[in-house]
Protein backbone atom coordinates (compact mmCIF):
# COMPACT_ATOMS: atom_id res chain seq x y z
CA UNK A 1 0.00 0.00 0.00
CA UNK A 2 2.80 2.44 0.89
CA UNK A 3 4.54 2.11 -2.52
CA UNK A 4 1.20 2.78 -4.26
CA UNK A 5 0.64 5.81 -2.03
CA UNK A 6 4.11 7.18 -2.81
CA UNK A 7 3.63 6.54 -6.52
CA UNK A 8 0.37 8.48 -6.62
CA UNK A 9 1.67 11.39 -4.53
CA UNK A 10 4.69 11.61 -6.82
CA UNK A 11 2.42 11.51 -9.87
CA UNK A 12 0.30 14.34 -8.47
CA UNK A 13 3.19 16.72 -7.92
CA UNK A 14 5.54 15.67 -10.72
CA UNK A 15 2.91 16.24 -13.41
CA UNK A 16 1.51 19.46 -11.90
CA UNK A 17 -1.87 17.78 -11.27
CA UNK A 18 -1.59 18.37 -7.53
CA UNK A 19 -0.44 21.98 -7.87
CA UNK A 20 -3.17 22.80 -10.38
CA UNK A 21 -5.89 21.17 -8.26
CA UNK A 22 -4.83 23.04 -5.12
CA UNK A 23 -4.42 26.33 -7.02
CA UNK A 24 -7.84 26.07 -8.68
CA UNK A 25 -9.52 25.31 -5.34
CA UNK A 26 -7.79 28.20 -3.54
CA UNK A 27 -8.41 30.69 -6.36
CA UNK A 28 -12.11 29.85 -6.64
CA UNK A 29 -12.64 29.90 -2.87
CA UNK A 30 -10.60 33.11 -2.59
CA UNK A 31 -12.74 34.84 -5.22
CA UNK A 32 -15.93 33.69 -3.52
CA UNK A 33 -14.64 34.72 -0.09
CA UNK A 34 -13.23 38.15 -0.90
CA UNK A 35 -14.27 39.36 -4.37
CA UNK A 36 -17.69 38.18 -5.51
CA UNK A 37 -20.91 39.79 -4.29
CA UNK A 38 -21.96 38.89 -0.72
CA UNK A 39 -18.34 38.19 0.20
CA UNK A 40 -16.97 37.85 3.73
CA UNK A 41 -16.26 41.58 4.02
CA UNK A 42 -19.91 42.46 3.40
CA UNK A 43 -21.45 40.06 5.89
CA UNK A 44 -21.38 42.46 8.81
CA UNK A 45 -20.15 39.78 11.19
CA UNK A 46 -17.19 37.39 11.44
CA UNK A 47 -18.01 34.07 9.82
CA UNK A 48 -16.53 31.50 7.46
CA UNK A 49 -19.94 30.29 6.29
CA UNK A 50 -19.18 31.41 2.72
CA UNK A 51 -16.17 29.08 2.62
CA UNK A 52 -18.02 26.09 4.02
CA UNK A 53 -21.15 26.65 1.94
CA UNK A 54 -19.27 26.81 -1.37
CA UNK A 55 -16.31 24.44 -0.84
CA UNK A 56 -18.50 21.30 -1.31
CA UNK A 57 -19.63 22.59 -4.72
CA UNK A 58 -16.01 23.19 -5.77
CA UNK A 59 -14.98 19.76 -4.44
CA UNK A 60 -17.88 18.21 -6.36
CA UNK A 61 -16.10 19.07 -9.62
CA UNK A 62 -12.47 19.23 -8.55
CA UNK A 63 -12.14 15.87 -6.80
CA UNK A 64 -13.57 13.80 -9.71
CA UNK A 65 -11.17 15.70 -11.98
CA UNK A 66 -8.27 14.54 -9.79
CA UNK A 67 -9.40 10.93 -9.36
CA UNK A 68 -10.62 10.31 -12.92
CA UNK A 69 -7.21 9.10 -14.09
CA UNK A 70 -6.32 6.90 -11.12
CA UNK A 71 -7.77 3.66 -12.50
CA UNK A 72 -9.08 4.56 -15.95
CA UNK A 73 -5.64 5.59 -17.21
CA UNK A 74 -4.04 2.42 -15.88
CA UNK A 75 -6.79 0.28 -17.39
CA UNK A 76 -6.39 1.95 -20.78
CA UNK A 77 -2.59 1.68 -20.79
CA UNK A 78 -2.57 -1.87 -19.38
CA UNK A 79 -0.44 -0.96 -16.35
CA UNK A 80 -3.21 -2.08 -14.01
CA UNK A 81 -2.65 -5.69 -15.07
CA UNK A 82 1.08 -5.29 -14.45
CA UNK A 83 0.35 -3.77 -11.06
CA UNK A 84 -1.90 -6.70 -10.21
CA UNK A 85 0.98 -9.14 -10.78
CA UNK A 86 2.96 -7.54 -7.97
CA UNK A 87 2.60 -8.76 -4.37
CA UNK A 88 -0.19 -6.31 -3.56
CA UNK A 89 -3.90 -6.96 -3.28
CA UNK A 90 -6.71 -4.94 -4.86
CA UNK A 91 -7.49 -3.57 -1.40
CA UNK A 92 -3.93 -2.29 -0.97
CA UNK A 93 -3.99 -0.71 -4.44
CA UNK A 94 -7.29 1.03 -3.69
CA UNK A 95 -6.22 2.24 -0.24
CA UNK A 96 -2.90 3.54 -1.56
CA UNK A 97 -4.61 5.59 -4.26
CA UNK A 98 -7.39 6.65 -1.89
CA UNK A 99 -5.03 7.94 0.80
CA UNK A 100 -2.97 9.83 -1.78
CA UNK A 101 -6.06 11.64 -3.04
CA UNK A 102 -7.22 12.39 0.53
CA UNK A 103 -3.80 13.89 1.26
CA UNK A 104 -4.32 16.20 -1.72
CA UNK A 105 -7.65 17.27 -0.20
CA UNK A 106 -5.88 18.01 3.10
CA UNK A 107 -3.17 20.00 1.30
CA UNK A 108 -5.86 22.10 -0.40
CA UNK A 109 -7.62 22.83 2.91
CA UNK A 110 -4.54 23.79 4.95
CA UNK A 111 -3.97 27.18 3.22
CA UNK A 112 -7.58 28.17 3.99
CA UNK A 113 -6.59 28.39 7.67
CA UNK A 114 -5.29 31.83 6.67
CA UNK A 115 -8.94 32.80 6.11
CA UNK A 116 -9.77 31.62 9.63
CA UNK A 117 -7.13 33.83 11.23
CA UNK A 118 -8.00 36.76 8.93
CA UNK A 119 -11.73 36.63 9.71
CA UNK A 120 -10.92 36.18 13.41
CA UNK A 121 -8.79 39.35 13.39
CA UNK A 122 -11.44 41.29 11.47
CA UNK A 123 -14.09 40.45 14.08
CA UNK A 124 -15.30 43.04 16.57
CA UNK A 125 -13.79 42.48 19.01
CA UNK A 126 -10.90 40.54 17.39
CA UNK A 127 -11.35 36.82 17.93
CA UNK A 128 -15.14 37.05 17.92
CA UNK A 129 -15.59 33.90 15.83
CA UNK A 130 -17.48 30.69 16.58
CA UNK A 131 -14.43 28.44 16.91
CA UNK A 132 -16.40 25.27 17.64
CA UNK A 133 -18.57 25.58 14.54
CA UNK A 134 -15.52 26.49 12.44
CA UNK A 135 -13.49 23.43 13.42
CA UNK A 136 -16.61 21.29 13.10
CA UNK A 137 -17.02 22.61 9.56
CA UNK A 138 -13.39 21.76 8.74
CA UNK A 139 -13.90 18.21 10.00
CA UNK A 140 -17.12 17.96 8.01
CA UNK A 141 -15.39 19.29 4.89
CA UNK A 142 -12.58 16.75 5.26
CA UNK A 143 -15.07 13.90 5.68
CA UNK A 144 -17.06 15.17 2.69
CA UNK A 145 -13.91 15.43 0.56
CA UNK A 146 -12.89 11.92 1.60
CA UNK A 147 -16.32 10.63 0.57
CA UNK A 148 -16.04 12.35 -2.81
CA UNK A 149 -12.61 10.71 -3.28
CA UNK A 150 -14.17 7.27 -2.71
CA UNK A 151 -16.89 8.12 -5.24
CA UNK A 152 -14.32 9.38 -7.75
CA UNK A 153 -12.22 6.24 -7.43
CA UNK A 154 -15.26 4.06 -8.02
CA UNK A 155 -16.15 6.04 -11.15
CA UNK A 156 -12.59 5.69 -12.42
CA UNK A 157 -12.58 1.93 -11.77
CA UNK A 158 -15.54 1.14 -14.04
CA UNK A 159 -14.28 2.79 -17.24
CA UNK A 160 -11.04 3.29 -19.15
CA UNK A 161 -12.17 6.72 -20.37
CA UNK A 162 -11.09 9.59 -18.11
CA UNK A 163 -13.80 11.99 -19.36
CA UNK A 164 -16.51 9.43 -18.66
CA UNK A 165 -14.99 8.82 -15.22
CA UNK A 166 -15.06 12.55 -14.47
CA UNK A 167 -18.66 13.06 -15.63
CA UNK A 168 -19.87 9.99 -13.76
CA UNK A 169 -17.96 10.94 -10.60
CA UNK A 170 -19.28 14.51 -10.64
CA UNK A 171 -22.83 13.26 -11.25
CA UNK A 172 -22.74 10.77 -8.35
CA UNK A 173 -21.26 13.43 -6.06
CA UNK A 174 -24.05 15.80 -7.11
CA UNK A 175 -26.75 13.22 -6.43
CA UNK A 176 -25.29 12.16 -3.08
CA UNK A 177 -24.83 15.74 -1.90
CA UNK A 178 -27.77 17.73 -3.27
CA UNK A 179 -30.44 15.46 -4.74
CA UNK A 180 -31.74 13.84 -1.56
CA UNK A 181 -32.02 17.17 0.25
CA UNK A 182 -33.86 18.68 -2.71
CA UNK A 183 -36.16 15.66 -2.96
CA UNK A 184 -37.07 15.84 0.72
CA UNK A 185 -37.90 19.53 0.29
CA UNK A 186 -40.73 18.65 -2.11
CA UNK A 187 -42.74 17.17 0.77
CA UNK A 188 -43.76 14.05 -1.15
CA UNK A 189 -43.21 11.52 1.62
CA UNK A 190 -44.64 13.18 4.72
CA UNK A 191 -42.69 14.56 7.68
CA UNK A 192 -40.89 11.38 8.76
CA UNK A 193 -40.43 10.10 5.23
CA UNK A 194 -38.94 13.39 4.06
CA UNK A 195 -36.53 13.35 7.01
CA UNK A 196 -35.40 9.82 6.13
CA UNK A 197 -34.81 10.84 2.50
CA UNK A 198 -32.89 13.92 3.67
CA UNK A 199 -30.78 11.78 6.02
CA UNK A 200 -29.61 9.62 3.11
CA UNK A 201 -27.89 12.61 1.50
CA UNK A 202 -24.44 13.92 2.39
CA UNK A 203 -25.53 17.55 2.75
CA UNK A 204 -27.69 16.83 5.81
CA UNK A 205 -24.81 15.26 7.73
CA UNK A 206 -22.28 17.83 6.53
CA UNK A 207 -24.46 20.68 7.78
CA UNK A 208 -25.01 18.85 11.06
CA UNK A 209 -21.26 18.61 11.73
CA UNK A 210 -20.81 22.23 10.59
CA UNK A 211 -22.88 23.37 13.55
CA UNK A 212 -19.99 22.32 15.79
CA UNK A 213 -21.64 19.19 17.18
CA UNK A 214 -19.69 16.05 16.23
CA UNK A 215 -22.26 13.23 16.42
CA UNK A 216 -20.17 10.05 16.28
CA UNK A 217 -23.16 7.71 16.25
CA UNK A 218 -24.85 9.43 13.31
CA UNK A 219 -22.78 11.80 11.19
CA UNK A 220 -19.26 10.35 11.45
CA UNK A 221 -20.48 6.78 10.99
CA UNK A 222 -22.53 7.95 8.01
CA UNK A 223 -19.47 9.37 6.24
CA UNK A 224 -17.39 6.30 7.07
CA UNK A 225 -20.19 4.14 5.67
CA UNK A 226 -20.26 6.10 2.40
CA UNK A 227 -16.48 5.72 2.08
CA UNK A 228 -16.67 1.99 2.85
CA UNK A 229 -19.53 1.35 0.42
CA UNK A 230 -17.84 3.03 -2.53
CA UNK A 231 -14.49 1.47 -1.66
CA UNK A 232 -16.10 -1.98 -1.71
CA UNK A 233 -17.78 -1.11 -5.01
CA UNK A 234 -14.38 -0.13 -6.41
CA UNK A 235 -12.90 -3.42 -5.21
CA UNK A 236 -15.75 -5.32 -6.85
CA UNK A 237 -15.24 -3.41 -10.11
CA UNK A 238 -11.53 -4.26 -10.16
CA UNK A 239 -12.12 -7.91 -9.34
CA UNK A 240 -14.76 -8.18 -12.07
CA UNK A 241 -12.02 -8.17 -14.74
CA UNK A 242 -11.07 -11.69 -13.53
CA UNK A 243 -14.57 -13.09 -14.05
Residue 42: pLDDT band by 50, 70, 90 thresholds?
low
Distance, CA of 137 to CA of 51 (rounded, Å): 10
47 compared with 202, residue with greater pLDDT: 202
Least confident of 30-44, 84-98, 188-202: 30-44
Angle 83-3-164 (CA atoms, 0-180°, nearest 5)? 55
Asked if 186 contacts 165 with a C-beta cutoff of 8 angstroms, the reply is no
Average pLDDT over residues 38-61: 79
What pLDDT is recorded for position 155?
95
Least confident of 82-91, 108-117, 137-146, 151-160: 82-91
Q: Where are the domains of the chain?
A: 2-242
> Can you say whether residue 212 is alpha, beta or left, with left for phi > 0 and alpha for psi between -120 and 50 degrees?
left
What pLDDT is recorded for position 22?
87
Instruction: Work out the percent of the chain whose per-residue pLDDT is above 70.
Output: 87
| Residue 243: pLDDT over 60 | no
Residue 117 CB neighbours (<10 A): 10
Read off the pLDDT of residues 197-234 as tens digits, 9 standing for 90 and up. Answer: 888 999 988 988 887 666 766 888 999 999 999 999 99
The H or E element containing residue 22 is helix 17-34
Distance, CA of 224 to CA of 58 (rounded, Å): 21
What pLDDT is recorded for position 240?
78
Residue 180 CB neighbours (<10 A): 19
What pLDDT is recorded for position 84?
64
Read off the pLDDT of residues 135-189 as tens digits, 9 standing for 90 and up. Answer: 888 999 999 999 999 999 999 999 989 999 999 999 999 999 999 888 887 777 7
Asked if 20 contacts 62 with a C-beta cutoff of 8 angstroms, the reply is no
Q: Helix or strand or coil: residue 240?
A: helix
What contacts 24+ positions apart, CB below 8 Å, involve 125-134? 128/46, 129/46, 129/47, 129/48, 130/47, 130/212, 132/212, 133/210, 133/211, 133/212, 134/48, 134/212
DSSP 187-203: T-SHHHHHHHHHHHSHH
Distance, CA of 95 to CA of 169 (rounded, Å): 18
Distance, CA of 145 to CA of 147 (rounded, Å): 5
Amino acid sequence: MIPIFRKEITAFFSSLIGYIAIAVFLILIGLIMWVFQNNALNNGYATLDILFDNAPIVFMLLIPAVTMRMFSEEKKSGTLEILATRPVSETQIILGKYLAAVCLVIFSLLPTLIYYFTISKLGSPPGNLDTGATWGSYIGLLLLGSSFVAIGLFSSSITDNQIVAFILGAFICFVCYLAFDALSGLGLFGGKGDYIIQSIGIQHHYESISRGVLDLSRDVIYFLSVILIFTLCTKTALESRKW
